[in-house]
Amino acid sequence: MNPEKLLEVKRLRTHFKTETGRVTAVDDVSFHVNKGEILGIVGESGCGKSVTSQSILRLFDEKYLVKYEGEIIFKNEIDLLKLSKAQMRQARGNEISMIFQDPLSSLNPVLTIGFQIAEAIMLHENTSKEEAMAQAVEMLRLTGIPSPEKRVHDYPHQLSGGMRQRVMIAMSLACKPRLLIADEPTTALDVTIQSQILDLIEDINKRFDMGVIFITHDLGVVAELCDRVVVMYLGQIVEEADIYNLFENPKHPYTKGLIQSIPHMDGDREEELHVIAGTVPSLENVPVGCRFAPRCQFADEQCNSQAPELRGIGDGQKVRCWHAEQIAERKEEVYATS
Ligand SMILES: Nc1ncnc2c1ncn2[C@@H]1O[C@H](COP(=O)(O)OP(=O)(O)O)[C@@H](O)[C@H]1O
Ligand SMILES: [Mg+2]
């Protein structure tokens, strides 16, 4: 039986106004998340991961939006792109929740965390304030906050970064969402705390059979958490694979480069980190052919002049590269240390 699709993004394109004209931050992006699955979106900074997730809930700055097109089908029935502003507000934090890198920006500094979680509960359930407060304590307990009955009276600034992220997760769970979108939620945290938050997300994913889109620039995090992954580069998907194939049979040179850039915790500390030479070009200067060609050691005439399509190569894996098969065979390291 095919897994049930929870969210399906089809040919999403998001265009913004800039000082010099117009850029397409997300360019023809299609992917899906199955019910109860953790999908990773990975890529270097500036690849369009955040704009992709913001597009799902229409959370970008509309002042700069020029156009936003495609389809975003939730639970096989509604197209989120067609919702009115009021309907979108209802969907946000109801069936779909989002958490960000910086919980402080989403928490109100002058209200206790218990009150804020209780408010989120009361927004979606017809409960008394006392009942909502009691539920808030339970939510905090669920996210592993010690002495939650005392913590509900704390203000955001009284908590550490890791605890604040737990509060955000508790708050996002208050409405029992079917889909949680997490945009680099652990990037600002140290590794021990990061690992605890990843465990927590995995735990609630299993416990509530909740789909998760987890956005990160860190493939190490992806390896720990995700079932399936899409790799983004300059506004497009360049590879899609399940977690096994991503690491065992990566097909795109960019994916290979990202894998080689993962620091080896257990390895030789002196070992140099492999980094992909060069940087992500600006959206104002999108290469004519393959967008990755200027940084790719395998690029030839075809790559420099013709843009490859994302194509299926079996086993649910997809790649956007003219020479994926030949390159994948090569065992030697793709990139030299720079
Ligand atoms: N509101 C906006 N107006 C114009 N350009 C934007 C806006 N938001 C994001 N961008 C551009 O879109 C690109 C992708 O950004 P983003 O999705 O934040 O990348 P990532 O999350 O992968 O680091 C960047 O080049 C960024 O400058
Ligand atoms: Mg981002």
Same domain membership, residue 71 and residue 189:
yes
- The three-state secondary structure class of 173 is helix
Structural domain includes residue 240: no
Q: Are residues 198 and 259 in the same domain?
A: no
Q: With bands split at pLDDT 50, 70 and 90, how would you rate the model's confidence at 92?
A: confident
Contacts of 304 (CB under 8 A, 6+ apart): 287, 288, 289, 290, 293
Same domain, 154 and 92: yes
In a domain, 119, yes or no: yes
Domain interval for residue 317: 252-335
pLDDT at position 337 is 40
Quote the number of domains for the chain. 2
Query: Is the confidence at residue 20, as pLDDT, over 90?
Result: no
Mark whether 34 and 168 lie in a shared domain: yes
CATH number, domain with residue 96:
3.40.50.300
Q: Is residue 260 part of a domain?
A: yes
Say which residue, 10 or 271, is predicted with more confidence.
10
Say which DSSP state 293 is in: G
pLDDT at 31: 98
- pLDDT category at 2 given cuts 50, 70, 90 is confident
CA 14 / ligand 2 centre spacing (Å)? 15
Confidence of residue 72 (pLDDT cuts 50, 70, 90): very high
| Listed residue (76, 121, 126) closest to 94, CA to CA | 121
CA–CA dist 329, 250 (Å, integer): 10
Residue closest to 4 by CA, chosen among 71, 56, 77: 77
Is the same domain home to 198 and 260? no
Tell me whether strands 21-34 and 5-18 are parallel, antiparallel or unpaired. Answer: antiparallel
Please report whether residue 92 resides in a domain.
Answer: yes
Ligand nearest to the CA of 63: 1
Whether pLDDT at 202 is above 80 = yes
Within a domain: 160:
yes
Distances (CA, A) of 219 to 152, 194, 230, 315: 35, 14, 11, 21
Whether 200 and 282 share a structural domain: no
- Whether 338 has a pLDDT exceeding 50, the answer reads no
User: Of the segments 2-6, 26-30, 139-143, which one has the largest average pLDDT value?
Assistant: 26-30
**Cα 43 to averaged position of ligand 1 atoms, centre (Å):** 13
In a domain, 244, yes or no: no
Q: Which residues contact 279 (CB under 8 A, 6 or more apart)?
A: none
- Residues 211 and 282 both lie in one domain: no
Q: Among 232, 266, 289, give the residue marking a domain's end.
A: 232
Residue 180, strand partner residues: 97, 212
* pLDDT surpassing 80 at residue 10: yes
Query: Beta-carbon neighbour count of residue 291 at 10 Å?
Result: 24
Average pLDDT over residues 291-308: 96
CA 278 / ligand 1 centre spacing (Å): 19
Report yes or no on 30 lying in a domain. Answer: yes
Residues 6+ apart with CB under 8 A from 301: none
The domain boundary residue, chosen from 170, 197, 232: 232
Question: Which of 200, 232, 264 is a domain's end point?
Answer: 232
8 Å CB contact between 72 and 7: yes
Instruction: Report how far residue 154's alpha carbon sits from residue 192's, in angstroms, rounded to the nearest whole number.
Output: 23
Residue among 15, 20, 50 whose CB has most ligand 1 atoms within 8 A, to mutate: 50
Cα 109 to Cα 111: distance, rounded to the nearest angstrom? 6
Ligand 1 pocket at CB < 6 A:
16, 18, 23, 25, 43, 45-51, 60-61, 64, 283
Q: How confident is the model at residue 123 (pLDDT cuts 50, 70, 90)?
A: confident
Note whether 76 and 131 are same-domain residues.
yes
**Is the pLDDT reported for residue 336 higher than 50?**
no
Q: What residue ranges in the chain does DSSP mark as E strands?
A: 5-18, 21-34, 38-42, 65-74, 78-79, 96-99, 179-183, 211-216, 228-233, 236-242, 311-312, 318-319
Q: Are residues 199 and 299 both part of a single domain?
A: no
Residue 167 β-bridge partners: none
Task: Look up the pTM and report it.
Answer: 0.93
- Whether residues 156 and 29 share a domain: the answer is yes
Closest C-alpha among 37, 3, 4, 17 to residue 209: 37
Convert the pLDDT of each residue in 234-277 to its tens digit. 999 999 999 999 999 999 999 999 998 887 665 554 455 567 88
Does residue 332 have a pLDDT over 60? Answer: no
**Does residue 120 sit within a domain?**
yes
Handedness of CA 151, 190, 235, 283 (dihedral sign): positive
Question: Is the domain of 132 the same as that of 160?
Answer: yes
Q: Please check whether residues 202 and 284 belong to one and the same domain.
A: no
**Beta strand 96-99 with 179-183: parallel, antiparallel or unpaired?**
parallel
- For 150-174, what is the mean pLDDT? 93
